[in-house]
Structures are given as C-alpha cells and as structure tokens.
Amino acid sequence: MFNIIQKMKPKTRTQHGNKMGKKKLAQDVNPNLQKNLDTLKVVYSYPDNTDFLIRELFISGLNKKAAILFISTITDFKLIDEHIIAPLLNNKDENIPIHNIITIQSIENKHTIQDTMKDINSGNAALFIEGEKQAYSVNVANFEGRGIENPENETVVKGPKESFNEKAFTNISLIRKRLKNENLVIENSVVSQRSNNVVYTLYIKDITSEKLLENVRERLNTLDVDAIQNLSLLEQYIEERKYSLFPTVLYTERPDRAVSFLEDGYIVLLMDNSPDSIVLPATFWSFFHTSEDHYLRFMYGNFTRLLRIFALFITIFTSSIYISVVTFHIEMIPPDLLLAIAASREKVPFPAVIEVLLMEVAFELIREAGLRVPSPIGPTIGIVGALILGQAAVEANIVSPIVVIVVALSGLSSFAVGDISMNFTIRILRFGFILAASVFGIYGMTAVFTLGLFYMISLKSFGVPYLSPLTPKYKSSGDTVFRRVLQHETFRPGYVKPKDITKR
Amino acid sequence: MGEPKDKIGIKEYIAIALFMIGTKTTDDIPSMLFDSLQNAGWIAPIISGILAILPLFLLLHIAANYQDKSLIDIIYHIFGKFLGFLVLFFLWAIGFFYIVLDTATYTDIISTMYFVKTPAILIYATLMGVCAYGAKRGLEQIGSVSWSVLPYLQVSLFLSLILTIGQGNLGFLFPVFGPGEWDVLKESTMKISLYMDFLYLFMLFPFVKSTKDFKKGTWIAFFLILINLSITMVSYVMLFDYKSVMLLNYPYHETIRSISLGFLTNIETLFFPFWLIASFIKFAAYLYINIMLFGKLFKIEHFEYIMPAFATLIVFLGLLPESPTFAIFDLKAMVGNLASPLFFFLPIIMWTLAKFKGDLRK
C-alpha cells in the first residue's frame, strides 16, 4: 500500500504542475495595465533579465497610460522608435484606433498573456494600454544571422551557387524565387514543447500525395520533446530505423536541389537555425545523385555518374579484394605481379589484414583530425600525415607500398560520393567487407554483399522502397545510375505517388 | 509479416524462376546428364523441356481457372482435405530433401573447388545463414534482389560462355545423338524433374501482380532457362569433349578454371562471386517457398520465424553424408527419378479431376 502511494506521488505532482502552468499562461489580458506588467515582470524575471525591456509612456491624445514590452536583442530598435513610440507620443487625435497610429505593416490583437508572450519570444513588441482587454503585437523582429553564401558541401562547377542559410524566411524566399506558383504551400508546426521550434513543411498542393503528407504531418505532430534546435536533430527524430547504417532522409543545402525535389512531388522541411533542408522521402539514388548531374550536358553528366558509381565500388571493395586475393586467391594474380607483391611484402611482419586495417584506420584518423584542426595549421598536418604515414611507414617495413596505394585509392574515391550520410555509410561498410574478406575471402565478401543487398532492399523511407524505381518498378523517368536526355524525362517518380505523374 | 503484402511484378517473378532453375547448369546436374547421354547431354534439357510444356500448360490452365488461389489451395480443393494434405506433404518432403541435397552440393563445390582448407561446416553455415536471412525478409525482397542482380549475373555467365566457346572445338558435338536417338529420348524423359521447380513456383501464383503476368512470366522464364541450360551444356562438351566431361563433377567450375582472358590466366575468382550471389538467392527462394508450404500445411501463420530453425536443421542434415561428392550425387539422382513422374502426372491428374468436378470453363 505504502509503495503504491509513493509511486503515485510524483505522477500527481507533475500533473498538478502542468495544470498550474497552463492556467497561468492562459490568463486573459487584464484591463489594469499594472497587473499585466506585474505578471510579465515575474515571468521574464524583469530586472535580472537584461535584454527584456519595458518602455512606459503616456499617449497624449487618448489620455491613456501604455507600455511597450520587447526583447531588445531580437528586435529592431529603429522600428520601435520611429514607428511605435514617436507616433504614440505625438498623437493629438482623441478618437483614433491604435491600428491607425502605429505605422508598421503587421499588428495583431492578442487576448491572452500566453499568446502575447509567444510573440514577444519570437521578436515582436507587445503594446499594453490601460483599460483595454487586449494587447497589440507589433512585428519588429530582427534576428541576427549571416547572408546567403556559397554551398560548402555540395559544390558545383556549373549551376547556381546559392545555398540556404540559418534563417528559414530567407530559405523560403530562395525557394519561392525558383518556384513562382500559388500551389506551393508552406505549413508550419511547432515541434518542441519548451523551445517552441517551428518546422516549415513545403509541398506543391496539386502534386504531392495526400497520404505522404499525412504521414509526415503525423510524425511531426507526435514528437514529444523539449527542444529540437535544427534539422540535423529533427532528422534523427523522424527517421524510421535509427540504428540502420543507411540514411533514409536526404539533407541538402542547395535551394535548386530542394526545388527540383518539390517539383517531383517530394516534401521539403525547413527550420530556423539550419543552413539546409530535409527532403522526404529519400531513395538510395537521391543520395547518389548531385544537382550537377542534370546541369551538365547529357554525356558529361552521365560520365560523372559513371565515375561516381565506379568510385563507390572502389571505396567499398578495393581493400577487401586486396586482402582476399593476397590471402585466399593468390592464383588469380598474374605471376609477375604476384612476385612483385610478394617481394614488397617480404619484410612486412603482419598479415595482410592487419596491414590494411592499420593504414585504413590511419587514413580515417587523418581525415577526422584534418576536419578539426584550426585552419592555419591544416596544410602542415596534411603534409606530416601523408609523409609520415605513407613514406615512413613503408620505409620502416610496417606496411608494404602496395597497401599504401590500395588504401589511398579507396580513401580518395570515397570523396566522390558527396552526400555526407552516404559517405559515412560506405566508409563503415568498407570495414565490414575487410573483416569478411579476412575470414572467408571472396566468399565472405559475397555473403556480406548479399546480406547487405537484402537489407537495403527491405528498407523503406516514408513508405517508399529504398531502391525504387529500379526494383520494385514504378513509372518514372528512370533516373537511377544514369539519367536520360531531359526531353525524355517525362514522368515524376511514381513511388512518391504524385497526383499528376506527367511532366509537361 | 506472414504472407507477402505487396505483389511482385513480372520481372521479379522471371528473375526468381531463373535463379531457382537456371543455376542448375552450374552444379552437378550437367554431369548427371552427361553420365547417361555422353556428348548428347545438351539435348536433354531441350527434349525434357518440350515434354515439360504439357504439365506447365495444364498447370497454367488450372491456375487461371481458380483465380486468386495458390497451388496449395487448389490441391486442397481438388483432392479434398485428407488426400490433398498427403499430396502436399509429399511435395514438401521432396522439396525439403532436395534443398538439403542441393545445399550440400553447393557447399561441396565451394569447399572442393575454392576453399579447400576451410571446414565444410563453416561454409555451410554461412551459406544457410545468408539464405535464411534473405528468406526471412520475404518474397518481395527476394524478388527485388533477384531482379536487381540478374543482368550482371547473366552477363558474367555469357562472358564465361563466350570465352569457353572461343576456346572449344565444334567437332566434339558430333555425333549429335551420342548413344543413339532412342536412348537420348528415354533418358531425357527421365530428367524432366529439371523443371520440377515450376511446380513450386506455382505456389507463388496469388502473389504475382496479375494472371497475365504470371502466364507470360512463366513462359518467358521457361524458354530463357531452356536456352541457358542447353547453351552452357553445349559449351562444356565443346571445351572438354564427352569423355572428360563425364568425369567432371562440377563442369561449370572446371570450365571457368580452364579459360583465360588476355593476360589474366586464372579468372575463376572473377566469376565465383557472381555464381555465389546466384546461389544465395536461389536457396533463399527455395527456402522461402518450402517453409511457406510447411507453414500452410501445419497452419503456421508467421512461418518466417521457423526459418532459422530449418536452416540449422538443413546444415546438420546436409553434413551427414560422408563423401558428399559421390553420396549426394546418387541421392540426388534418386530424388530426381522420384520427382520426374510426379511432376509429369500430378498436373494431368489435377486437370482430369478438375474437369470431372466441372470447375474448368473454357
């Protein structure tokens, strides 16, 4: 009995606490100005909280006391001065509504303290007037951020060079600039309870499938967390298989790419504080493609695709093929090459696996460290890394020269796959294949490959099979490993179930 | 999971059929045919193929008449509960026995031709592990995987054939009828069990998108398999001549050992992975169909959960024969002799009974 009471206790307390909190927030605006100010002073810890400001004034024409409340760091001072305070003080007219005094484009009436606070938190100024049962919320928000810059991860030689920045409105404007259509809808929903982070869902009304949209909305609405600062975190909340090696949500910093997905019936998510967008659903191919594949002419674009798929296979398989050939299938190497390899490995005291793993780990370390070093000493680290780990390791007979070639080749090729998530996937997969090759040679590698293929094909991203349209087949423009001539890309991908499948 | 939710398309269905039957040319089936038919071995797939058209046609006719029913339901319907159960159980037992023997053969191929020092049980366990995983994923995944890799495997097979025929001797094919026309006909008839797996494929009937797709797919797969089988067997004779090909247990693997490509003199390891992928998929499909039948027989709805158990059982059963290369060869021939009449006469009996019941409308 006692146990039960103890267990019940914290539960009831939190319930009570929630109720109290809601009551307090849902309080109506009081006609008594001082009472409102007192409530808000407590909520915002007024004198301690240095950037929360209250400007009290007297509206001469109306003969009323008033107060303007705002957070100075996220508002535009000049706007408040010139367009709110000055007109109010200079007013002589007695029967004029507030909306006609203030000269700012957007004013809303708020009836509860809670709503007013929400607006203050997002950069608005709140105007309270003695004797009125409402507050005026004036849009003077001005958040600091950087301007539009070049994309850093998805660079192209040919094509637009704008990238998203941390302001959602700028990003939406970049998208609207490319897609001038009234059917582009931008919904917003608050996804976190405490920080009130807003996610903007973008889609084209007469193309995007209702079912897909419902699926995304549901996932966004069922989130129950205090804060989701940006899209990179949101991605991990809404994806299906959290432990999977393969990414199922595409992440792009290029507005042109996001727009081309929107035009195909995909859904794009944007958020403040994220210099990128999320594209849903994603298939394996969307990670493999880049926007430049389509900007380059047919032959050139497909040539880069060919190189990329080649690089993908080299990254995953070279090291493991080297190990399995050297340890299990020596007969397949032509005799002269075999002798050369044998001679170079003669002095190395390790089995091939250890040798390759040493170099692979070293390469990954250089790569990771290279990302984190302060930029002034970056080049030095590169030279030291390459020299010491390449040249010196060979001279010290720790690795054979051919392993340096193999590892460098697979390491360099991994950069050809631009998408960060897919890049990680293939880098980790490589180690799986190395281990399989060291145990069972080609047999082990094929076993792991088949397992991986079965796994990959069973993956789904928001109900879309991972390898579609390759298999299962859907009506689409067939943009998989290679792309077609633009005039022949006449269908939207059928797997996202667009309302209108033909592109004209 | 249980039964598949989405249906598979015609491409996936053809790919599965090709993997289940087409891969037979790369194991010890050719040597079984060469054993009795000498250099006329390559005619056997054609003659038994022509014979197999009749049961296939009847099966398709029956299946099209009972829309949305799989072969399992049709057999229950035609034979009644008790007799139907017996027929299906017999089919399942033959299928299961065949999987055990076939996986043992493939393990033997890998361990005698490629990994001589590795213990057979490890090779076997890996093989069945991958297959069980694939089978557990379900039919759609097996179909999709089959279709996505099929073009590459087919290219690799044809590359090896082109190289073989280039180095072979056309004269080895003559006399065309080897031991004599009558013998060829008689022995080929006995080998109709080559196409026995189509009987099992009919259990997938309700899971293929449309009846038309299934019909078309079955015929396309059938002719592709027929062509694949005979061309590969022709190339074996051309490369080795009949005396030595009769001695070889796994002619495909001897073939890829004997051919060379430019400066590469040993290229078997180039073809080996492709063949392995084909085998993994083949047994995943076999296992799936077999366990699905088992699940239907004993009313196990989520039959995918018993796959690991069966895979383990298969490993231990398959390891029982002491000298697999010979013991399994003989056992397989025995199962073949049992399966051939079953495959030929079961559809005829079914068709007659269905006709008798008045279910067949023209």
| Percentage of chain A exceeding pLDDT 70 | 95
Chain A positions touching B143 (Cβ under 8 A) are 471-472
Phi, psi for residue A199 in degrees, rounded to 5: -110, 130
The pLDDT score that the predictor gives to residue B5 is 67
Mean pLDDT of A22-35: 74
Task: Please give the distance of CA A471 from its chain centroid, rounded to a whole number.
Answer: 27
Inter-chain residue contact A471 with B138, CB threshold 8 Å: no
What does the H/E/C string look like for B205-243? Answer: HHHECCHHHHHHHHHHHHHHHHHHHHHHHHHHHHHHHHH
Q: Which residue of A has its CA nearest to B132?
A: A451
| Cβ(A62)–Cβ(A91) below 8 Å | yes
Nearest CB neighbour to A447, from listed B130, B263, B270: B130
Non-local (6+) Cβ contacts of A270 within 8 A are A164, A168, A171, A172, A199, A200, A202, A231, A277, A278
Q: Which residues of A are less than 8 Å from B273 in CB distance?
A: 442, 445-446, 449
Out of B122, B141, B269, the one facing A454 most closely (by C-beta) is B141
What mean pLDDT value characterizes chain A?
Answer: 87
Tell me the shortest Cα–Cα distance from A339 to chain B, in angstroms.
15
Kind and range of the H or E run holding A55: strand A52-59
The b/e string for B193-214 (b: 16+ C-beta within 10 A; e otherwise) is bbbbbbbbbbbbbbbbbebebb
Determine the residue of chain A that is closest to B275 in CA distance.
A446
Residue pair B311/B287 in contact (Cβ under 8 Å)? The answer is: yes
A259-314 pLDDT tens trace: 999 999 999 999 989 999 999 899 999 999 999 999 999 999 999 999 999 999 99
Q: Do B267 and A332 touch (CB under 8 A)?
A: yes
Cβ of B277 and A458 within 8 Å? no
Choose, out of B103, B126, B259, the residue to mutate when testing the contact with A (most A CBs < 10 Å): B126
| Neighboring chain B residues of A440 at a CB cutoff of 8 Å | 115, 118, 122, 126
Query: CB neighbours (10 Å) of residue A123?
Result: 17
Q: Which residues of A touch B270 (CB under 8 A)?
A: 332
Kindly indicate the confidence band of residue A60, based on its pLDDT and cuts at 50, 70 and 90: confident
CA A109 to chain centre: 35
- The answer, yes or no, to whether residue A13 has pLDDT greater than 70, is no
Nearest CB to B264; choose among A334, A453, A471:
A334
Mutate to test the interface with B, among A284, A323, A457, A473 (most CBs of B within 10 A): A457
| Residue A51 to chain B, least CA–CA distance (Å) | 58
Q: What pLDDT, on the 0 to 100 scale, is given for residue A15?
A: 40
The answer to whether the CB atoms of B273 and A446 lie below 8 A apart is: yes
The nearest CA of chain B is from the CA of A336 a distance in Å of: 11
Residue carrying the six token digits 């390469």: A363
At the topology level, CATH places domain B10-357 in Amino acid/polyamine transporter I (1.20.1740)
**Residue B284 burial (C-beta neighbours within 10 Å; 0-12, 13-18, 19+):** buried
User: pLDDT 10s per residue in chain B (362 long)?
Assistant: 456 667 888 889 999 999 999 888 888 888 888 888 877 888 888 888 898 999 999 988 888 888 777 788 888 888 888 999 999 999 999 999 999 999 999 999 999 888 888 899 999 999 999 999 999 988 889 999 999 999 999 999 888 888 888 888 888 877 777 777 888 888 888 888 888 888 899 888 888 888 888 889 999 999 999 998 888 888 888 888 888 888 888 889 988 888 888 777 788 888 999 999 999 999 999 999 999 999 989 988 888 889 999 999 999 999 888 777 788 888 888 888 888 888 888 889 988 888 888 776 65
Looking at residue B130, its pLDDT comes to 95
State the pLDDT at residue B3: 62
- Measured in angstroms, the CA of A338 and the nearest CA of chain B are apart by 12
* Closest chain A C-alpha to B161 CA, distance in angstroms: 19
Instruction: Please give the DSSP secondary-structure letter assigned to residue A502.
Output: B
Instruction: State whether A453 and B148 contact (CB < 8 Å).
Output: yes
The shortest CB-CB distance from B9 to any of A455, A465, A473 is to: A473
| pLDDT in the model for residue B300 | 87
How far is residue A429's CA from residue A441's CA, in Å, rounded to a whole number? 16
Q: What ranges do the domains of chain B cover?
A: 10-357
Q: Return the structure tokens found at A174.
A: 């970049």
- Tell which of A317, A453, A454, A495 to mutate to test the B interface (max B CBs under 10 Å): A454
Q: CA end-to-end span of chain B, whole Å?
A: 37
Mapping DSSP to helix (H, G, I), strand (E, B) and coil, where does residue A1 land? coil
Report pLDDT for B277. Answer: 94
What span, in angstroms and rounded, lies between the C-alpha atoms of A142 and A72? 9
- Pairwise CA distance, residues B177 & A393, whole Å: 65
Q: Report in angstroms the alpha-carbon separations of A314 from A9, A317, A412, A426, B347.
A: 61, 5, 10, 10, 50
pLDDT given at position B92? 93
Is residue A278 within a helix (H) or strand (E), and if so which, with residue range? strand A277-280
Cβ neighbours of A443 in B, within 8 Å: 110, 114-115, 123, 126, 272, 276
CA distance B273 to chain A (A): 6
| Chain B contacts to A (CB-CB under 8 A) | 6, 8-9, 11-12, 110, 114-115, 118, 122-123, 126-127, 129-130, 133-134, 137-138, 140-145, 147-149, 263-270, 272-273, 276-277, 280-281, 284
Query: What residues contact A149, with CB distance under 8 A and at least 6 apart?
Result: A163, A165
Which residues are paired to A267 by β-bridges? Answer: A280
Closest CA of chain B from A479, distance in Å: 15
Beta strands in A154-258 (DSSP E): 184-190, 198-204, 250-252
Which residue, A262, A295, A299, is CA-closest to A159? A295
Residue for token pair 């009974």? B353
- Chain A residue numbers with beta carbons less than 8 Å from the beta carbon of B134 are 450-451, 454
CB B24 within 8 A of CB B205: no
Interface residues on A facing B, Cβ-Cβ cutoff 8 A: 325, 328-329, 331-332, 334, 440-447, 449-451, 453-455, 457-458, 465, 467, 470-473
Residue of A nearest to B274 (CA): A446
The pLDDT tens digits of the residues spanning A333-361 come to 888 888 988 888 888 889 999 999 999 99
pLDDT digit string (tens) for A352-407? 999 999 999 988 888 888 788 887 777 777 777 777 777 888 888 888 888 989 99
A442·B269 Cβ contact <8 A: yes
Cβ contact, residue pair A334, B134, below 8 Å: no
Interface test with A, best of B114, B137, B145, B265 (most A CBs within 10 A): B145
**Is residue A496 within 8 Å of A265, Cβ to Cβ?**
yes
pLDDT at A12 over 80: no
Determine the Cα–Cα distance for residues A386 and A182; give it in Å rounded to an integer. 54
Name the minimum distance, in Å, from the CA of A473 to any CA of chain B.
8
Nearest to A471 among B130, B148, B267 (CB): B148
Task: Please indicate whether, in this complex, the C-beta atoms of A454 and B284 are within 8 angstroms of each other.
Answer: yes
The count of other CB atoms within 10 Å of the CB of residue A270 is: 26
Of the CA atoms within 13 Å of residue B239, those in its CB half-sphere come to 26
Helix (H, G, I), strand (E, B) or coil at A108: strand
For chain A, what percentages of helix, strand and coil (3-state, to nearest 5) are there?
50, 15, 35
d(CA A181, CA A206): 11
Looking at the predicted structure, is the pLDDT value of residue A255 above 50?
A: yes
- Buried residues in A212-237 as b, exposed as e (16+ CB within 10 A): bbebbeebbeebeeeebeebebbbeb
Residue with tokens 């810890």: A45
* Residue A21 pLDDT: 43
Under DSSP, the state recorded for A482 is: S
Identify the residue among A471, A473, A475, A480 best suited for mutation to test binding to B, counting B beta carbons within 10 A and taking the highest: A471
Tokens coding B190:
């006995």
Measured between beta carbons, the chain A residues lying within 8 angstroms of B114 are 329, 442-443
Is the torsion defined by CA of B87, B88, B91, B93 positive or negative?
Answer: negative
Residue with tokens 């995944």: B141
DSSP letters, A370-436, are HHHS-GGGHHHHHHHHHIIIIIIHHHTTSS-HHHHHHHHHHHHHGGGS--HHHHHHHHHHHHHHHHH
Q: Which of A334, A441, A458 sits opposite B263 (nearest CB)?
A: A334
The per-residue pLDDT for B248 is 85
**CA-wise closest residue to B150 among B16, B304, B24, B43:** B16
Q: How confident is the model at residue A23 (pLDDT cuts 50, 70, 90)?
A: very low
B110 → closest Cβ in A331, A443, A465: A443
Residues B126, A440: C-beta atoms closer than 8 Å = yes
Domain boundaries, chain A: 26-138, 168-282, 296-464
